[in-house]
Amino acid sequence: MARVVIENLSKVFTAPTGAEVHALKDVNLTIEDKELLVLVGPSGCGKSTTLRLIAGLEDISQGTITIDNQVVNDLQPKDRDIAMVFQNYALYPHMTVFENMAFGLTLRKVPKSEIERRVRDTAELLGLTACLARKPGTLSGGQRQRVAVGRAIVRKPKVFLFDEPLSNLDPHMRVRMRTEISKLHARLGATMIYVTHDQVEAMTMGGRIAVMKEGVIQQVADPLPLYDAPVNRFVAGFIGSPPTNFFEGTVQATQHDGELLFVEENKAKQPGSGAFTVRVDQAQAPRLSKFVGNRLLLGLRPEHVQRASDIPRSVSAANMQPPAPTENIVSASIESIEHLGSESYVHLNTGSHLFIARVSAREELKAHENVSVAFLMKRARFFDPGTGLAVA
């Protein structure tokens, strides 16, 4: 297998009008040997273009791509020793599963005995042995996807490239297949680059995740650090479902003790609109002290908004979380509730901001009810509204 190094990679397309479209802008990324890295981002962010440049299916405008210590910019796709699995499977309908999986090896004039061995070993690995004599039209979507993966495996490439391979599957099969691909990576010890627009898929599959926006990599990190410490507002809003709640306001210092407060902006511009004030966690106060009087965005994930009655009023051995300060209790009205079985998403309105709380499905809540919720400020993130960068 191989290490992939991308340095200052850019791709510029020319639109029909003659205007230049920058699909990638100075991308720098290293995929370590035997690593599974996920590229995730919204449609049009450049993730599939990155994959196609690595594969040699597009010409590079600027930068270099190195695979196994060899610069491959000028190499043809067939000479890069990569295998790509596409969204649409790209199977030959007139060929059997065996013939589809063996096709690439046949073109390379691999001995028939070796082809037979590789295909049957891979079919056993993927649970396709009973399907080898069948044609793609008789297979389920999940089976066809496994055949496409198997066709890549038999080649024993240095790098596997997956371009949204599960997008055409139903939700249940997608969950099953992403688990199978993760297991496959562990068994093969292969270098894999996996592209998806689904952040849940990225979080569950990636050893590391690279988040992209408008041709620029925003952050590269393991799943939990990416979730807990996003470097900017885009990452905080894109990673996580439901997304992070954002509140506009200012940081102020109390006169009597100098502690910091976040005061929500009254967007309704009317008295009694429900704008709230919460206390900044002491651990974050030193970093936020230089922003006193400045506008900031408070980011809080839905699970860090709890019904006030559910917050423990004392610390016990069973629950080491301290009681929430009264300054962190916010009044809101329930606009709607999404029941998902194990949990519910409660859509709330302070009168100035809309936000979502993730609560247990056993919570007895009703639409249009007024409730008090507690903000777990020790889990809050703060962002500069101009640059979008995290400041604390």
Give me the average pLDDT of each 10-residue run along the chain (392 residues). Answer: 93 91 96 96 95 96 96 94 88 94 92 95 91 94 90 92 87 84 87 94 90 98 96 97 94 84 79 77 93 96 86 43 62 93 92 91 88 94 97 94
Phi/psi region, residue 46 (left: phi>0; alpha: psi -120 to 50; beta: rest), is: left
Question: Is 194:37 a contact under the CB 8 Å cutoff?
Answer: yes
The packing angle between helices 97-107 and 112-126, to 10°, is: 140
> What confidence score (pLDDT) does residue 118 get?
94
Residue with tokens 């992209």: 212
Question: Is 79:157 a contact under the CB 8 Å cutoff?
Answer: no
Structure tokens at 53: 């440049």
| Cα gap 358→380, rounded to integer Å | 15
Q: Which listed CATH number (3.10.129.10, 3.30.413.10, 3.40.50.300, 3.40.50.720) goes with 4-238?
A: 3.40.50.300
> What confidence score (pLDDT) does residue 351 get?
85
> What confidence score (pLDDT) does residue 315 get?
39
> What confidence score (pLDDT) does residue 320 get?
40
Question: Is 260:328 a contact under the CB 8 Å cutoff?
Answer: no
Within a 13 Å sphere around the CA of 42, how many CA atoms are in the beta-carbon half? 6
Asked: is 245-383 a CATH 1.20.200.10 domain? The reply is: no
Domain definitions of the chain by residue range: 4-238, 245-383
What is the greatest pairwise CA distance in the chain? 84
> For 199, which DSSP code?
H
